[in-house]
Amino acid sequence: MLYHVRMDVLIPADMDADKVNELKATEKALSQKLQEQGKWRHIWRLAGEYSNFSIFDVDSNEELHDIMMSLPLYPYMKVEVTPLLRHPSSVRDDDS
Ligand SMILES: O=C(O)CC1=CCC(=O)O1
């Protein structure tokens, strides 16, 4: 199952810098592990914003939910999830 997820990161301005760096580093490591596993298929930065568009390929709503809840930056994100399905006009064979 594919999902488009928009993540807007909203870290409090007064958070300790070392804590921020630790959160970003652990977020990056988990993100890259999930990308290697094929669960987090794409991640794109939105130009000029501390936001990303991501595509997840997971087995269920529950798996996506569990992944989102596990993200170290989740408490500091606004998240919008859109379930996706193959478009009948698509000519690609790798988008489902
Ligand atoms: O920087 C972001 O957009 C938040 C984020 C998600 C995965 C990651 O490494 O950073």
Torsion sign across C-alpha atoms 2, 8, 29, 65: negative
Nearest to 84 by CA among 50, 61, 66, 68: 61
| Ligand 1 neighbours (beta carbon < 6 A) | 7, 9, 27-28, 31, 52, 73
Amino acid at 2: L
Whether residue 88 has pLDDT greater than 70 = yes
* Digit-coded pLDDT (tens) for 24-36: 999 999 999 999 9
- In the chain, % of residues over pLDDT 90: 95
Whether residue 94 has pLDDT greater than 90 = no
* pTM of full prediction above 0.90: yes
Amino acid at 28: K
Give distance in angstroms: CA of 77 to centre of ligand 1.
10
- In the chain, % of residues over pLDDT 70: 99
Residue with tokens 């999930």: 34
Residue 96, pLDDT score: 65
Whether residue 8 has pLDDT greater than 90 = yes
CA distance 78 to 39: 20
